[in-house]
Each structure stands twice: as C-alpha cells, then as structure tokens.
Amino acid sequence: MKKCCLLPVCLLLVGSAQAQLRVSPLAPSAVPANLKRSGRVVQALRYTDRTGTYTVLATEIGPRPDPAAQSSEGQRADLYAYQYPATGAAPTWQVHDFADDCPLDLEARFLSKALTVTDLDQDGTAEVWLVYRTTCRGDVSPSTQKIIMYEGPRKYAVRGTSRIALGGGRHDGGTYTLDAAWAAAPASFRQHAAQLWQQHRNERLSE
C-alpha cells in the first residue's frame, strides 16, 4: 500500500518543479532605476524559479575612446550582464567582456534574442543563457563569439568564433570549445549549447 502512494507524490513533486519556471520579457525602459549597472540596457527579462524571482540585464557601452590605448585612435567597447534578486540587492552574478585598444572596426554586442532562460533538466532551477560577440578587425575575419550560461551560481562557457562566408562555398571560423564545467553537466545542457551555437554562428559583415 505504501508503494502505491509514493508514485503520485513523486509525480506531483516533478510536476511542481516543472511548473515553477516563469519568464517574462522586460522593456529596457521598465528596468528599475535602483538596479545599479554600467551601460545601456539592450535586453532584459524577469523570471521565477524554485529559488526565487530574478531580473537579468544585458548592457553595452561604446565604442568610445580608450584612455589606456597605445595610440590616439584606440577605442574600447564593453558589455555586461547582471542577475539581481527580487530585493534589488547586489547581483548574484555578473559577466563583463570587452574589446579594447582598437583603431579598427570595433564591436562588443549581444546578439538578437541572445538572452534566454530554460529549465532543461527540470529540477526547478533555471538556466540563464547569453550569446555575444566581440571584435577588432580591419579585414574579413570572424569575431570572437561566446555563450555564457548560469545555473544558480555555477557558470558554463562556450568560446569560439563566428562563421564568415568567403564566397565560392568557402567559410572561415565557426568552431568552438566547451570549458571543463560542461563535462559534469547534463547532456541536455551540452545539446542546447550546440543548438544555440548553430543558430547564432553565421555572421554577415554588414550586420
């Protein structure tokens, strides 16, 4: 009799974990002023999982003159991502990347729809995904491209380059590597990372 009672309870708990995740977009103009950040908000969302409610921001600065550059033409561009708890206190995590001392074409930007939230392992704790590029170039060459994912405080990173069409069916770049954290991650995380990379890897230089 006890075994018969356990199954419905387990199913209820699993269903509850799956139902915990709620995600809603947040217009940049609606971001609370008390959330301290650097740069201009380009993407934002709010989500709730079993651990609480959070606001996630992706921001960008630049290009602008780089005071530390070796030449007067050197510029710098930065991007940031922040996750804040519902209390509006200090971020639970922060990402910062940049391109600097660049006298050529410079960019540090999040890709379109690059901020997403999932619960792939259905444990009730959200995974937050970010996709962005940084580059300093004066020719036809790929950008540095990265995927950063957080599940709670644990960080996962994918690093590589965008894929550039050279004509005649030839391409340059598009490869990536996973950092060591992915080895112990669920297979669904690695599969989703690969899908995101394929979705965002192609770069048009006119973008």
Q: What's the pLDDT tens digit per position in 142-164?
A: 999 999 999 999 999 999 999 99
Q: How confident is the model at residue 75 (pLDDT cuts 50, 70, 90)?
A: confident
Given a cut of 90, whether residue 189 has pLDDT beyond it is yes
Every domain of the chain and the residues it spans: 21-203
Given a cut of 50, whether residue 1 has pLDDT beyond it is no
What pLDDT is recorded for position 204?
A: 86
Q: How confident is the model at residue 2 (pLDDT cuts 50, 70, 90)?
A: very low
Instruction: Out of 41-55, 64-78, 124-138, pick the least confident.
Output: 64-78
Residue-by-residue DSSP string for 148-191: EEEETTEEEEEEEE-EEEEETTEEEE--EEE-GGGGGS-HHHHH
What pLDDT is recorded for position 206?
A: 62
* Residue 122: count of CB within 10 angstroms of its CB: 15
- Global pTM value: 0.87
| Nearby residues of 100 by Cβ (< 8 Å), 6 or more positions away | 66, 68, 69, 74, 75, 76, 77
Q: How confident is the model at residue 201 (pLDDT cuts 50, 70, 90)?
A: very high
Of 125 and 138, the one with more pLDDT: 125
How far, in Å, are 140, 141, 205, 207 from residue 173 at the CA level? Answer: 11, 8, 13, 17
Residue % of the chain over a pLDDT of 90:
70
What pLDDT is recorded for position 103?
A: 87
